[in-house]
Amino acid sequence: MLPKAQQRGLSKNDPVLAGMMEGPPEGDALDLASFITRLAMSLCEVGGYVVYSTCTLSTAQNQAVIEFCLESRKSDDDAKFAVVDATAFVELCVSQLSPALGVRVVPAYSAAGLPLGAMVIPCLAANYGPTFICKIKRLK
């Protein structure tokens, strides 16, 4: 996923995006996040991964982007994608991060209670914002 500053600079005239799909939407960040994620998914080979990462703590927004991208890929072709359970990643982070850093890594779940990704939640002194991470695997 692109940093927010780079996302703002994307346009329909961007040579990287030209000819790959319609240009990025003119709407909000949710539309742009979905566009970039679907583009990455369209380029992903079977057995490969797409990692969606953003600096929002909004569970609803994160869930909406992931679910929209998974659903839209189902209708585009016969490709199949699945969210990778982030439990092992969360456990690794918990075991390796010093409590003195003030960073917590917790699992994120969809409204249905299915694993959706992980949230990195820093304390104010950590001097950076939150991060949501979702790993998506192309199965077919």
Range of 12's domain?
Answer: 4-138
CATH number of 132's domain:
3.40.50.150
pLDDT at 2: 47
pLDDT digits (tens, 9 = 90+) for 73-131: 666 677 899 999 888 888 888 788 777 677 788 888 887 888 888 888 887 776 777 88
Total domain count, the chain: 1
- Are the CB atoms for 138 and 45 separated by under 8 Å? yes
Q: Which residue has the tokens 């994608």?
A: 81
pLDDT surpasses 60 at 25: no
pLDDT at 27: 56
Alpha carbon dihedral 40, 44, 49, 50, in 10-degree steps, equals 0
Average pLDDT over all residues of the chain: 77
Just list the catalytic residues.
Answer: 55
Give the predicted TM-score (pTM) of the model.
Answer: 0.72
